[in-house]
């Protein structure tokens, strides 16, 4: 195992409360930052029970029970009211939000889009977007401070532009990004109100802005679909594939509404999460120059100093380990939520129908029983032997079971392609003494951004 220096211990982490918080403080903190309500027991125990007003919550950390909920007994659970209320208005009844047969046929219909040979075809667009980012960095005077979080949002949006909607213009991507932020901002309120049993009509701060944002997003999707019908292009982008997608069992294809909601699902699911993985990876590398140098050397050895291509990416084993470890410490989807459909028993726990089941991925990834020195950054945890020796259900950045992230391979290619491209020509350093604060808004973000200086750039190869 790599000798760990002081830089390998990171300050950017959640300080869990020692005990369950009293109800009022719990609700307040849940609105502010739900991940800060998880008590220390969630990082130590197999399960943890909590209740807010009338709402029963069960946190599941034990790998055997996680496997039951997500895999073996997946049909006994659904996404539930928190999910439907939080994301349903924007994403409708599409693949991420639907349950039962509605979900099943959509998953079957889009499966072929994510076949390896299709994803490989998208890799040049991923590399091109990262090269554009390097060009932006090169055009800045040395020492310029940037927000790498924003830069990565822009890079991953460029990738979407070229893979999901194949360069279709006529859409204001800044406004799109802002609308996604405005929509997600009050989701912690929705979570708290759902748990408190408040009816759906109860207003909350930011509701009007969120509604306007949602309407904007829907109009933008409808315009993209309309454009794709009138100008089909080469028919190989994800939108065209969605338009042609049919359920192999029933032959069902998507209605206009299905298309709108699934397109928005792919754009949002594939953009925000990706930008965060890269942001947190650059953060960790900035604090650990030894690891950073090893990644840089690996990329140079594979490419021989020439341009990066898809075939090099497959060989970047250490770079992939670094990304996996970044997703352990900062999983973009830090919480997976389910609701029990009926009364059942999970290990020693009786679970009543309607109980909210939390799979607190962030805490499982730092659980004291599953990880040695859990807060330390150590990519050797993802060497093949180490992975083999561990229970698969202690590492869940993409979930597990039938609802596992359909974009997992796409995401792994994209993260490796972007990191390898940028690291070969740019050096980024975190603003001295800056400690990012973690905030959960469906995804785990650095509140206040991630300020970094561009301290070195090389000309493109």
Site for ligand HEM, rule CB under 6 A: 95-96, 107, 265-266, 269-270, 273-274, 277, 332-333, 336, 397-399, 403, 405-407, 410-411
d(CA 279, CA 282): 5
Nearest CB to ligand HEM, comparing residues 414 and 457: 414
Nearest CB to ligand HEM, comparing residues 31 and 335: 335
Q: Supply the minimum distance, in Å, between the C-beta of residue 244 and ligand HEM.
A: 17
Contact 108, 254 (CB under 8 A): no
Q: Supply the minimum distance, in Å, between the C-beta of residue 113 and ligand HEM.
A: 9
The DSSP output letter for 376 is B
Nearest CB to ligand HEM, comparing residues 39 and 407: 407
Nearest CB to ligand HEM, comparing residues 274 and 287: 274
Contacts for 402-406 with beta carbons within 8 Å, 24 or more apart?
402/71, 402/74, 402/107, 403/70, 403/74, 403/103, 405/269, 405/333, 406/95, 406/107, 406/110, 406/111, 406/114
Q: Supply the minimum distance, in Å, between the C-beta of residue 426 and ligand HEM.
A: 21
Buried b (16+ CB within 10 A) or exposed e, 383-404: eeeeeeeeeebbbbbbbbbebe
Q: Supply the minimum distance, in Å, between the C-beta of residue 429 and ligand HEM.
A: 24
Q: Supply the minimum distance, in Å, between the C-beta of residue 404 and ligand HEM.
A: 6
Q: Supply the minimum distance, in Å, between the C-beta of residue 460 and ligand HEM.
A: 26
Number of Cβ within 10 Å of residue 344's Cβ equals 16
Nearest CB to ligand HEM, comparing residues 405 and 438: 405
Q: Supply the minimum distance, in Å, between the C-beta of residue 268 and ligand HEM.
A: 9
Region of 391 (left: φ > 0; alpha: ψ -120 to 50; beta: rest) is beta
- CA neighbours within 13 Å on the CB side: how many for 140? 18
Helix (H, G, I), strand (E, B) or coil at 92: coil
Nearest CB to ligand HEM, comparing residues 16 and 407: 407
Looking at beta carbons, which residue is closest to ligand HEM? 407
The closest alpha carbon to 325, from 374, 289, 290, belongs to 374
Nearest CB to ligand HEM, comparing residues 95 and 351: 95
| 3-state per-residue secondary structure call for 144-176 | CEEEHHHHHHHHHHHHHHHHCCCCCCCCCHHHH
């Amino acid at each position: 195992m790599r000798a760990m220096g002081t830089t390998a211990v990171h300050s950017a982490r959640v300080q869990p409360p020692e005990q369950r918080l009293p109800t009022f403080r719990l609700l307040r903190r849940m609105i502010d930052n739900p991940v800060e309500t998880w008590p220390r027991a969630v990082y130590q125990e197999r399960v943890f029970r909590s209740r807010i007003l009338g709402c029963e919550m069960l946190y599941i950390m034990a790998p055997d029970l996680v496997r039951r909920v997500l895999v073996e007994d997946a049909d006994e659970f659904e996404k539930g009211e928190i999910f439907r209320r939080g994301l349903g208005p924007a994403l409708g009844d599409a693949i991420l939000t639907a349950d039962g047969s509605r979900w099943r046929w959509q998953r079957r219909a889009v499966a072929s889009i994510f076949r390896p040979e299709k994803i490989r075809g998208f890799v040049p667009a991923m590399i091109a977007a990262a090269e554009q980012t390097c060009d932006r960095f090169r055009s800045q005077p040395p020492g310029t401070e940037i927000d790498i979080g924003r830069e990565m949002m822009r890079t991953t949006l460029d990738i979407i532009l070229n893979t999901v909607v194949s360069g279709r213009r006529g859409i204001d991507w800044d406004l799109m990004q802002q609308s996604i932020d405005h929509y997600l901002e009050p989701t912690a309120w929705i979570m708290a109100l759902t748990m408190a049993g408040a009816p759906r009509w109860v207003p909350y701060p930011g509701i009007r802005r969120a509604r306007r944002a949602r309407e904007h997003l829907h109009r933008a999707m409808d315009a993209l679909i309309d454009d794709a019908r009138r100008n089909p292009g080469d028919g190989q982008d994800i939108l065209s594939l969605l338009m042609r997608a049919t359920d192999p069992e029933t032959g069902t294809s998507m209605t206009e509404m299905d298309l709108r909601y699934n397109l928005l699902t792919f754009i949002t699911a594939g953009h925000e999460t990706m930008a965060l993985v890269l942001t947190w990876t650059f953060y960790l590398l900035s604090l650990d120059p030894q690891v950073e140098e090893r990644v840089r050397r690996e990329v140079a050895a594979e490419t021989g100093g020439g341009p990066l291509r898809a075939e090099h990416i497959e060989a970047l084993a250490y770079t992939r380990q670094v990304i996996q470890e970044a997703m352990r410490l900062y999983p973009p989807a830090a919480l997976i939520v389910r609701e029990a459909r009926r009364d059942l028993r999970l290990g020693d726990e009786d679970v009543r129908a309607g109980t909210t089941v939390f799979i607190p991925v962030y805490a499982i990834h730092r659980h004291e029983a599953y990880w040695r020195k859990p807060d330390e950054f150590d990519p050797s945890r993802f060497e093949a032997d180490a992975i083999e020796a561990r229970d698969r259900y202690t590492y869940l950045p993409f979930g597990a079971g039938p609802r596992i992230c359909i974009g997992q391979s796409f995401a792994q290619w994209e993260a490796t392609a972007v990191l390898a491209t940028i690291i070969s020509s740019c050096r980024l350093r975190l603003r001295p003494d800056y400690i990012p604060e973690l905030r959960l808004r469906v995804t785990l973000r650095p509140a206040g951004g991630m300020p970094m200086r561009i301290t070195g750039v090389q000309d493109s190869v």
